[in-house]
Amino acid sequence: MDKYEELEQLLTQALSSTEEPSEILNQKIKHRIKERKTMKPVRKRIAIALTAAFILVMSGSAFAAWKLLTPKQVAENFGDKSLAKAFDSENAVQINKSATSGDYIFTLLGMTSGRNLSDFKSSIQDIHPDRTYAVVSIERKDGTPIPAMSDENYSEPPFIVSPLIKGQKPWQVNIFTMNGGYYQCVVDGVIYRMIECDSIEMFADRGVYLYVGTGSFIDNQKVIYDEETGEISLNANNKEAGALFELPLDVKKADHDKAEQYLRELLNPDPESITRGETDTGDEDALDWESEFADGIVIPESIREVTYDENGFVCYEYNGSSLKSSPDYLFEDGEVGVWKTVGIFGDGEEQIALQLFKDENGVVTGRAVKKAK
């Protein structure tokens, strides 16, 4: 057997490993969640080349991820140069852990946290400037490529990627309630999802998980919450594919008082403070999307009525970039007749905004607008 045959055998053994979760009692707990941020748009794909020497030095759980993009490359693929730099810094954590469940292999590639890490800023960052970004990949276990999002044969089931905090009920504290959202793309048959949410570093001394799986929300069918210990584990009776990763956070970055205050505001929000929306972040560089694209050039062929998925979420796609969001997030009660920018994509040379409009009859239309130079 030559060295290439040995390498192929090693890869086959590493990529064929599966694990079954232990039997755990399923709890019937009522849940109620509400999406609060859009799924963000994507850019065109990029390629990656790795040498055999690099593959051979990888070990353990990282071995299975040899063919995947790095978090830095994923951020570059979305045109976010600042975040790509952050993923390449000392503060970033490279993880590369994989888990197989159902028909999928889920890999947690890495994460980073901090202020002003992304080129793409939204109003929520004015209120919650400390953000966490994490990148996961999703691939089919049998190796069948997932079609590109613009492909007519694209048939992706819904996936959810969410941080979960030990000691907090998953259906109360998750990516939806933590002001989260994500970017997503398909590169060489693999889904890459980059999530962002309020910083999880303040919970480092408690324990933080990342759940990845099929479905649209977190409930007690997917995970089990132990009321006594606060531990969160996979539900062995779950019929959907799912994986639960423990995040390797630096306990020195924990902030107990800040975490307690955050949870109080999250679980018992003050309507008056939400209405005021007062904040002083000191970030004078935060982008105002509406003004940035006020003189933009509308792309005529992009104008079309949106569609809706089985959960009632608004869906819009243009040139491989897509978004999906709850109508409650996009428009306030009675808000009609205004184009609203809900996401941007592109690089420093050319940026395009995705905008939505609701008329007096409730019909929502989407369009793409190119930023004027």
Q: Specify whether 297 is located in the same domain as 227.
A: no
Q: Specify whether 227 is located in the same domain as 311.
A: no
**Strand 351-358 relative to strand 364-370, pairing:** antiparallel
Q: Specify whether 238 is located in the same domain as 334.
A: no
Q: Scanning the structure block, which residue is given the tokens 């490279």?
A: 94
Give the rounded percent of residues in the chain with a pLDDT score beyond 70. 70
Q: Specify whether 84 is located in the same domain as 227.
A: yes
Quick check: is 327 in a domain?
Answer: yes
Quick check: is 276 in a domain?
Answer: no
Enumerate long-range contacts of 154-157, CB under 8 Å, 24 or more apart. Answer: 154/186, 156/191, 157/214
Quick check: is 218 in a domain?
Answer: yes
Residue type for position 168: Q
Quick check: is 281 in a domain?
Answer: no
Q: Specify whether 252 is located in the same domain as 347.
A: no
Quick check: is 300 in a domain?
Answer: yes
Tally of structural domains, the chain: 2
Q: Specify whether 88 is located in the same domain as 224.
A: yes
Domain range enclosing 318: 289-370
User: What is the arrangement of strands in the sheet containing 159-165, beginning at the earlier edge strand?
Assistant: 159-165, 208-214, 242-246
Q: Specify whether 191 is located in the same domain as 224.
A: yes
Q: Give the H/E segment covering residue 329.
A: helix 327-330
Q: What is the pLDDT of residues 209-251, one digit of tens each?
A: 999 999 888 888 899 999 999 999 999 999 899 999 999 999 9
- Is pLDDT above 50 for 92? yes
Quick check: is 145 in a domain?
Answer: yes
Predicted local distance difference test score (pLDDT) of residue 360: 83
Q: How far apart are CA 84 and CA 347, in angstroms?
A: 12
Quick check: is 357 in a domain?
Answer: yes
Q: Which two tokens stand for residue 207?
A: 């324990």
Q: What is the pLDDT of residues 131-161, one digit of tens each?
A: 999 999 999 999 999 988 777 767 678 899 9
Lowest mean per-residue pLDDT among 9-13, 103-107, 174-178, 331-335: 9-13
- Is pLDDT above 60 for 166? yes
Q: Specify whether 298 is located in the same domain as 188.
A: no
Predicted local distance difference test score (pLDDT) of residue 335: 78
Q: Specify whether 132 is located in the same domain as 76.
A: yes
Lowest mean per-residue pLDDT among 98-102, 159-163, 251-255, 330-334: 330-334
In terms of pLDDT, which residue wins out, 52 or 271?
Answer: 271
